[in-house]
Amino acid sequence: MTWQQTIDEEKEISYEEGKIEKAIEDAENLLRLNILSPEQISQAIGLPLEQVLQIKENLSVKV
C-alpha cells in the first residue's frame, strides 16, 4: 500500500465517522424538539431505530 492509498483510506474513514457524528447530533436535536417520533427520526436521518432510542434514553438521563 502506498502512502497516498493510506492517506485516502484515512480520509474516507474520517469522512464516514464525521457523517455518523453529525447524524447523532441531528438525532439529539430532533429528540429535544420532541416533534418527531424516534421512528421518524430514524427514517429521516438514516440511523438504526435502536440507536435513536438509545440516544433518547441517554438524553433523558442527562436532563
- The reported pLDDT for the residue numbered 63 is 55
pLDDT in tens, 5-53: 888 899 999 989 999 999 999 999 999 999 999 999 999 999 999 999 9
Strands (E), 1-63: none
13 or 62, higher pLDDT: 13
1 or 53, higher pLDDT: 53
23, HSE (Cβ side, Cα atoms, 13 Å): 17
Task: Go through 15-26 and write b for each residue having 16 or more CB atoms within 10 A of its CB, e for each that does not.
Answer: eeeeeeeebbee
In single-letter form, the type of residue at position 58 comes to N
- Which grid cell is 35? 416533534
pTM over 0.85: no
